[in-house]
Structure 1
Amino acid sequence: MDSTFFVILVFGLLMSSIAFIGGLFALLPEKLLKSLLQPLVAFAAGALMGGAFFHMLPKALASNVPDFSVLLWVVIGFTAFFALDQLMEWHHCHRLPSEHVRPMGPLLLVADGAHNLIGGLAIGAIFVIDIKAGIAAWLAAALHEVPQEMGDFGALVHSGYSKYRALLLNFCSALTFPLGALIAYFLGDTINLVLLVALGAGNFLYIAGADLIPEIKRAEKLSETLKRFGFFVFGLGLLYATH
């Protein structure tokens, strides 16, 4: 095993551990949670778009794969996650746990596992191509995972699971992320990793544009709107600075 394998394994397991962090965040007092959640979502939206435009797409377009094929797989990635949302009646909500009504806990776990598997494939692929770009893409994805896991934890508890069981099951579904990353590593010689990176860019753009931004673009006060926009730009800027 080379160093890339161990980097992918460590970062994959770190991503899975965010399932615990998200659950613990969800236990914070509601007032404090409200003050933290929307800026974090705005920051994650900017980081995801920055990861797609400043790291993943440049790497994919600089390869020997035709540009049209790269862009086609970006669209496939975007469309696949839209279909996952529509067909499984589930999306990455980032409201307070008390605002969730998700009675189908097992369905949520299956959908979350599929999401993490595809994300792991894409992030693992970019780690194989360029470790620095992989770390940047991982950071963008991790910022998104905290509010997502908060919502998933609240949904599972609402579905009837105990808090301990919800944390455990959420972590188990998150283990498909390192699984996907390791699959990308071991199959790197037999599949075109560039297309997986393009698929992941489509995933990032869908989550940022269709899932996160609609939840943060409206606020009661102008000061709150400006704060959210500032965190969004900060997320973009951070990923640009690390390109």
Structure 2
Amino acid sequence: MSTLVLTLIFSFMMSVIALVGGLALILPEHLFHKIIQPMVSLAAGTLIGGAFFHLLPQAVDKQGNEKIIYIALVSGFVLFFILEQFLHWHHCHRSSLKHQPVSYLILFADGFHNFIGGLAIGSAFLIDAKFGMIIWLIAVAHEIPQELGDFGILVHSGWSSKKALLFNMISALTFPIGAVLAYLLSGNVNVSLLLPFAAGNFLYIGAADLIPQLHSEKLTKQLLLFLLFAVGLLIMLLLTWF
């Protein structure tokens, strides 16, 4: 199967995952909040592990241990810091659905994030299929709690469930757009530099945005969340041997 076909299949699958947000409607609110933290904890581990164990090593392997890699890494980190600060956007839902965010602003920010994720997946499949699937799995682990939270927030802010699902799907279409753009640019741009840039995005979301959500007053819950975070890291580490 060609690189372009694989890129299209997996990036469109990411768009379909936006439909999982509909589960936020059928889950009782107390159950929703009970499962979202463990999912975010696992996602934080996979994002940080994916950045350190997969994206950065691949970038160094393709580009050499050049300063430009670390410039791209920091650029990716800082870009998401700016996005969060200036758009007042908190990824993966810092809290309860009682907040009334600007709905279209959330969709714009998520659409931009999905576009960057698409660039990462497209760049990864250009290197090889196995690496592309690993980066795709990292994105899935993070996308599911994100879509659940987004859908719940949109509905709570007054949108109908159909409208929330439709616009979530539209914002998710930036995933294949980013993936195809990475493929099209591969002949003219050093696509390997997109890997550390994506790693910077992953590190910001995981370390600065997700981990702060994982604090709990109960020691047993703290231990569970840390364990799931460690499981995410371990999965990414183990995948380096396959």
TM-score, with length taken from structure 2: 0.94
Q: Write out per-residue CA displacement over residues 73-113 of structure 1, whole angstroms, 9 at most, x where no aligned residue.
A: 000000001111111111213356623321x2222222211
Q: Which of 187, 192, 199 is 1:194 aligned to?
A: 192
Greater mean deviation of Cα atoms: 119-128 or 199-208: 119-128
TM alignment of 1:123-202, pairs within 5 A: 123-202=121-200
- Structure 2 equivalent of residue 237 of structure 1: 234
Provide the C-alpha distance between the structure 2 equivalents of 1:84 and 1:52, rounded to a whole number of angstroms. 19
**Structure 2 match to 1:48:** 47
Q: Show the counterpart of 1:85.
A: 84
Which structure 2 segments of 5+ residues have no match? none
Identity of matched residues, %:
50
Q: Secondary structure, in 3 states, of the residue corresponding to 2:153?
A: helix
Superposition map of 1:95-134 within 5 A:
95=94, 98-102=97-101, 104-134=102-132
Gaps of 5+ in 1: none
Q: Whole-Å Cα distance in 2 between the matches of residues 156 and 39 of structure 1?
A: 22
CA–CA distance in structure 1, aligned partners of residues 63 and 204 of structure 2: 25
Residues 20-54 of structure 1 deviation map (CA, whole Å, 9 limit, x = unaligned): 10232453112322331111111000000111011
- How many equivalent pairs are there? 240
Residues in 1 aligned to 2:38 and 2:158: alpha-carbon distance in whole angstroms:
30
Equivalent-residue separation in structure 2 for 1:5 and 1:208 (angstroms): 29
Give the deviation of 1:133 after TM superposition: 1.7
Residues 24, 152 of structure 2: 8 Å contact kept = no
| Superposition CA RMSD, Å | 1.5
Distance 2:7 2:125 in 1: 7
C-alpha contact (below 8 Å) 1:121/1:196 kept by paired residues: yes
Structure 1 residues 45 and 92, CA gap change in structure 2 (3 angstroms): same
Aligned-pair CA distance for 1:227 = 0.5
